[in-house]
Each structure stands twice: as C-alpha cells, then as structure tokens.
Structure 1
C-alpha cells in the first residue's frame, strides 16, 4: 500500500536537513515516514564479513539516531527505520516502488557518498514515485508559495496535480509558471511574413488557464497565480524558487533529445535551485505519465 514517504540518510548534515524536510512533509500529508540507510555498494561486493557487519551496524545506528531526532521535531508522525544491505541505487529504486514520495539530499557530484551524493538522473526519472531533492536555503523555509512549471507535457500535467495538493495541504498559494521562447530570430514564429501577427503571450496565457481549469475546480481553497513569461523555463523557475517553499516539475518537458532521462530544465533545477525540487513523472493514481499501469 502506497501510504508512506521515504527519506535516505547517511549521517551527513545535508541528509539531516532532507530528513527534517521529509518529516514536515509527512506531517502535512498525514502519512508515515521511513528513514532509510544503505550499507551495501552498487557493483561487486568489497570487504570481508567483519567489514560488512560494521557498515550494517553503522547504517542502522544512523537511521535510529535520525528517527529519534525527527520524533522530537514531528511527534505526530509515525517514523520507522530501514537499513538496506543493497547498493544505493538499488535500495532507493526498490524503496520508491511502494512510497508516496522519495526524499534525498542535494547533488554534490558523486554517488559514492551513500545517499547525500548526486542523485542519479536515471533513478529520478524512473523511480516508482515522485522524488524530492532538498537543497538550497529554502530547505528550511516553512512558508512561501508552491511553484509548478507548466509546459503542456504529460509529466508536467502530473506535476500540476501534485502541486495543487501540495499547496492545499500547506495552506499556501500556488504559482503556475509557463515560460516560453520564440525562435532564435527573436520574433514570434521566426521571420516568415506569411505568419499571421498574433499575440503569442495571450495565447499562452489562455492555454495555461485551460491546463489548470479542472484542478482549480477540485481545489477551490488554493489561491492560484498564473505567470507567463518569455524566457528560458529554467531561468524563471530558479528565480521564483528563491522565495518558494518548493518547486515542482515534470521529469521531462516537450523538448529535449531522444534518450534523455531528465529534461534540461529539471536537470538545471536539481543543481541550481535555492529550494527543494520535487520531480514528478507519473500521476498519483499509480499510472505512468503515458497512462500505463505501473
């Protein structure tokens, strides 16, 4: 049953910040939280039995210490621990299959440091649930709006659904941001004189309002601000993220190259946003972004 959140910890301060964020999130969603540590490695096993036993004991101690600290901060949340003997990526992917949300620390450029290292793009894109990367000064921010990036893609629509529920549970406003760009010529639709002169910005605003219409009816308590700007999506989302509680995006947008597991906007946010970034690749009802059953 998908009714709990999972946070990966390794004893580092970034992971501890992520754990505290996850506990608050679990409180808002009225769900339980599992504190996950890993003692195994991805790839061939290294070290002897004594070395592995020591790592397992350390991992379990880290999980228990984190649990005890979170229980004080969020006494209303049921918190359990799990120490996996699998490798980092395998453990996280397995945990995501039965979780409502997987929470990790920020990228630092390596996966060798247990769970606080750089989140693998393939893991984030193919996880069985949304993945939150807790980063930036906004990691400790309890107020501020929820920002959702909207581009019309299936994963963007899934992100919209999560964003409305997130804003409703946090009792905060939602900013739906759609950034668009003309062709490289700097004029709408390039230089073709045969193209009718229309207000592209107005058309984009109407399209954005239509995207959100059904969700606004379901969440009348959410104050929604629609923002349409002519700029690179990543630049605008990073800018809005400076004051946000969380930025929510789909794993891939409409553009990009075949074979990319994460869109360029999502990738930029994971490394440069000043607040937690929540990446959604499927609807909460258990369907993938293409409508196939998981």
Structure 2
C-alpha cells in the first residue's frame, strides 16, 4: 500500500465519524481564487474558517514576482492565500527589462493594478502593495525580498533558460536565504479535493523535527490539512505510523528508494512539498541540494524550500 493509500485509509476512517469535512481555511481561500479565475469552485462547501495556527508570527510580508503568464497569475494567487492564512501583508513585484518601451511599462502598471484588485476582491483583509521595477528579474526580486518572510515565484522554463538549465525560479531558489515557495502547477483547475490534500515534507531521519519539518507542521496547521513526513533512502525498511502534533494529523512514512523519486511521486497527490535547501558553492545549481533541485524542476505541486 502506498503512502497516499495509507492516508486515504485514514481519511475514510475519519469520514465514518464525520471529521473528513472539518473546516479548512486553505480550501475556502482556494475556492475564491478559482472562482476569480473563471473556474467553478472545486472544493466542497465548508464551515467558517478556523483561526490562524498559533505558532505563526502575527506580522510578516509575502513578496511575489508577477508577470502576464499563467504561471505569474498562479503565483500571485498562492502568495495571496499564504498571506491570508498568516495575516501578513502582500507585496507584488513586476520586473520590466531595461529597454522596455513606455507602452510595455504602462502595460506592467495595468497588470499590477489588475492583480491588486483581484487580491482585494478575493481576500479583502490583506494589505497589498505593488512595485514596478526595471532590470534583471532574479536580481531585483532578490533585492525586493530582503525583508520578506516568504518569497513566492512561479516556475516556467523558456527556451533561453532551458538552454542553461536555469529559470528565474531556479536562480532565486539558489540564492534567496529565506523561505521560498516555487509555484509549480502543471495545470488549473487542479482537480477535486486539492484544497484538502496533505502537505508533504522530506526528512533525513524518521520522526526528526528538522526546520523543514517544523515549517511543514505550521503550514499544515494553517491550512487545516494532514502532514506526511517522509524519510526515504535505499536500504531503509518501509514503515509507517500516525500521531497528532499540535492538532495536526501527522503520517510518518519511510520508503526504500531515493528521496527525490519518492517525493516527486507523492507531489502529484499533495497540496505542497516542503524540503530543506542544502548545497555548496556560490552557483545557483550547487546552492541547492540534489533533492531540493529535483523538486523545483519536477514536482507536481508548489514547493517550499526552507
């Protein structure tokens, strides 16, 4: 039985007691943004949202890079939801090339206005600011996010970036020294139940609460979903157990395979993947460990690098 099959068995058991439809703040917020995108809301109707997870700081800033692409819009949606869950402010940044025509800059200003209106319509409580800057996207987003508590960026590989294996998201993931969310979404709408899928975190030792695991626990608590804590490596005996930590149902799993493959597989049934970011050297490729780099490039859901 797979990890997610085990989780579904747990959910089926909770369904018998009526707990499967417990309120989730994340699903409620996701519905509003899906509706704004022109899609029919895909999550079930739920009770009023729960209060924020107690371990989250009461003030903070989410910075998101935005452009006219679907990846850009999706990144803003997810950044706004994260800001709403935490009660933090949102800063939307759009970068124009240095040689952009005035008409392009006007279009950029209109984009920021539309995105700000979109967030206000879906999440009226969020304080939103927007910034149009000129220059290199990766460098300027890094400078804009020096005081950010969370940096969010969409991920897409164009022809130019594919030639050297790096996108803006790759560069930011390699150089930003805070928490970054890389919004990898193969397509929208995302399918029924996305808002109640688990958060999955990769840990080296089973049951050990690493900084990535602590962040994942907080994220699951904010969303109101389960947490799957996966430890994977060749030679590790497959096992599983379940416990509740700070109100979050945590599924501890081990798998006898390489961690990148295991996490990539789970990512297609997860709402988010959380991994530690560990590498060496000064280049964006080597600043990420092999697992975190694989998640940025291949995961089937948004990825948090901690």
Q: What TM-score comes out, normalization by structure 2 length? A: 0.68
> Which residue is 2:292 aligned to?
266
Give, in whole Å, the separation in 2 of the partners of 1:229 and 1:74. Answer: 39
> Which residue is 1:167 aligned to?
220
> Which residue is 2:232 aligned to?
179
Q: Give the alignment partner of residue 240 of structure 1, picking from 258, 266, 279.
A: 266
Q: Give the alignment partner of residue 77 of structure 1, picking from 121, 126, 129.
A: 126
Deviation at 1:111, TM superposition (A): 6.7
User: Structure 1 residue 108 and structure 2 residue 157: aligned?
Assistant: yes
2:71·2:154 contact (CA, 8 Å) conserved in 1?
Answer: yes
Deviation at 1:26, TM superposition (A): 1.0
Distance 1:253 1:128, change over 3 A: closer
Distance 1:268 1:252, change over 3 A: same
Q: What TM-score comes out, normalization by structure 1 length? A: 0.71
1:138·1:245 contact (CA, 8 Å) conserved in 2?
Answer: no
Aligned pairs for 1:103-182 (under 5 A) are 103-109=152-158, 118-137=167-186, 140=190, 141-151=194-204, 157-182=210-235
* Long gaps (5+) in structure 2: 1-56
Q: Which one has the largest radius of gyration? A: 1
Deviation at 1:123, TM superposition (A): 2.4
Q: Which runs of 4+ in 1 moved over 6 A?
A: none
Q: Deviations over 1:134-157 (max 9, x none)?
A: 1225875322111001125xxx92
Kindly indicate whether structure 1 or structure 2 has the higher relative contact order, using CA contacts under 8 Å at least 6 residues apart. 1
Deviation at 1:120, TM superposition (A): 4.7
* Long gaps (5+) in structure 1: 183-199, 281-294
Secondary structure of the corresponding residue to residue 128 of structure 1: coil
> Which residue is 1:58 aligned to?
107
Aligned pairs for 1:184-195 (under 5 A) are none
> Which residue is 1:250 aligned to?
276
Secondary structure of the corresponding residue to residue 97 of structure 1: coil
2:137·2:168 contact (CA, 8 Å) conserved in 1?
Answer: no
Distance 1:124 1:110, change over 3 A: farther
> Which residue is 1:33 aligned to?
90
Count of residue pairs the alignment pairs up: 235
Distance 1:57 1:136, change over 3 A: same
Q: Give the alignment partner of residue 13 of structure 1, picking from 70, 73, 77.
A: 70
1:38·1:87 contact (CA, 8 Å) conserved in 2?
Answer: yes
User: Structure 1 residue 201 and structure 2 residue 237: aligned?
Assistant: yes
2:71·2:156 contact (CA, 8 Å) conserved in 1?
Answer: no
| Aligned-pair Cα RMSD in Å | 3.1
